[in-house]
């Protein structure tokens, strides 16, 4: 009995120390948590400067064929860290912070349209010695991945499209309705409270993160507000439908049934545009399947890759 009491007391002390660390040093706590997640996923943080001056920060790990994963609007490379845990045993996984986001460069007076971003991603891939690649993309990242494939079809071996943006002929989403009726963008944040609302808006089942650590991420978004406003306009006005119609690249289209940002009916529209595609709809999931259900998302992707 004394041993049980002692162990319980020790665990209580440890839990109290962890909570104190999170509340007193949330930025350091977030860095520790991210480093632990990356380590479990076999990912290492790397940096590279391209000849044209582009500074990239990215995660890389695993062996095998290259798999390039592109995050969505307002996000960063760690959106793919947890799902990468199931992918690095099979592939060389590379996850960059896209230009304008995360730790990569944030040039102000440049073009951030998906076509320009796709060419930047291609330049990064070439700098890393990659000539042909499988690409996955979430939301805006999917829009960029599709643009990359349409511009360089012989270089892209397959596409993993997680609630991708750019198909605007589909039925209106809640995001579009709110913006139309109020002019407010539910994906943007100027305060900690607004960022918490963004997280709730894009995910039905978000992974747990203590509020002090979430607030650290909020301040990153708040500092990037003006640039993100410009980028969002360029993403939102870019339709990829004509660009990708008939694109024969193998594609797995995955959509969260509860997606509030991009209507789930978009999956059907995209499926018709891509003749060599298949669709998976995930019940009870929002806009970010790889964060909400990382294991399921990875299993579906691995099955897709094993099918050809």
Instruction: Note the pTM of the prediction, 2 decimals.
Output: 0.94
71 carries an active-site annotation = yes
Taking a C-beta distance cutoff of 8 angstroms, is the pair 304, 87 a contact? Answer: no
139 carries an active-site annotation = yes
- Sign for the pseudo-dihedral over CA of 102, 108, 114, 115: negative
Fold assignment, 41-306:
Rossmann fold (3.40.50)
pLDDT tens sequence across 139-160: 999 999 999 999 999 999 999 9
What residues are paired with 133 via a beta bridge? 156
Mean pLDDT in residue range 151-174: 98
Of the residues 41, 104, 138, 139, only one is catalytic, namely 139
Q: Is the pLDDT of residue 134 over 70?
A: yes
Q: Is the pLDDT of residue 3 over 70?
A: no
Residue 272: how many other CB atoms lie within 10 Å? 11
pLDDT tens sequence across 255-277: 999 999 999 999 999 999 999 99
Q: What is the 3-state secondary structure (H, E, C) of 39-64?
A: HHCCCEEEEEECCCCCEEEEEEECCC
Of the residues 71, 173, 277, 287, only one is catalytic, namely 71
pLDDT for residue 21: 58
Phi, psi values for residue 73, rounded to 5°: -60, 135
Alpha-helical regions (H) of 42-167: 81-84, 114-127, 140-151
């Amino acid at each position: 009995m004394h041993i049980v009491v002692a162990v319980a007391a020790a665990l209580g002390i440890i839990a109290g120390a962890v909570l104190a660390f999170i509340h007193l040093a949330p930025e350091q706590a977030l860095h520790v948590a991210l480093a632990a997640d990356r380590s479990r996923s076999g990912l290492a943080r790397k940096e590279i400067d391209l000849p044209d001056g582009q500074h990239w920060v990215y995660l890389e790990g695993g062996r095998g064929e290259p798999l390039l994963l592109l995050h969505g609007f307002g996000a960063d490379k760690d959106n793919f860290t947890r799902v990468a845990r199931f992918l690095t045993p099979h592939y060389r996984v590379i996850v960059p912070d896209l230009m304008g986001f995360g730790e990569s460069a944030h040039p102000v007076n440049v073009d951030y349209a998906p076509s320009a971003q796709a060419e930047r991603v291609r330049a990064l891939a070439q700098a890393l010695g990659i000539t042909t690649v499988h690409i996955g993309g979430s939301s805006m990242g999917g829009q960029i991945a599709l643009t990359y494939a349409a511009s360089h079809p012989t270089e892209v071996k397959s596409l993993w499209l997680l609630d991708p943006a750019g198909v605007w002929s589909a039925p209106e989403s809640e995001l579009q309705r709110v913006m139309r009726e109020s002019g407010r963008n539910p994906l943007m944040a100027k305060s900690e409270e607004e960022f918490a609302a963004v997280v709730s808006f894009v995910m039905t089942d978000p992974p747990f993160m203590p509020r002090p650590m979430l607030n650290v991420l909020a301040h990153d978004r708040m500092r990037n507000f003006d640039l993100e406003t410009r980028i969002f306009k360029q993403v939102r006005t870019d339709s990829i439908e004509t660009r990708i119609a008939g694109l024969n690249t193998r594609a797995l289209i995955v959509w969260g049934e509860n997606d509030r940002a991009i209507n789930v009916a978009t999956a059907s529209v995209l499926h018709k545009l891509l003749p060599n595609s298949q669709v998976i709809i995930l019940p009870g999931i929002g806009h970010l399947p790889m964060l909400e259900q990382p294991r399921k998302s990875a299993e579906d992707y691995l099955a897709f890759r094993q099918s050809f």
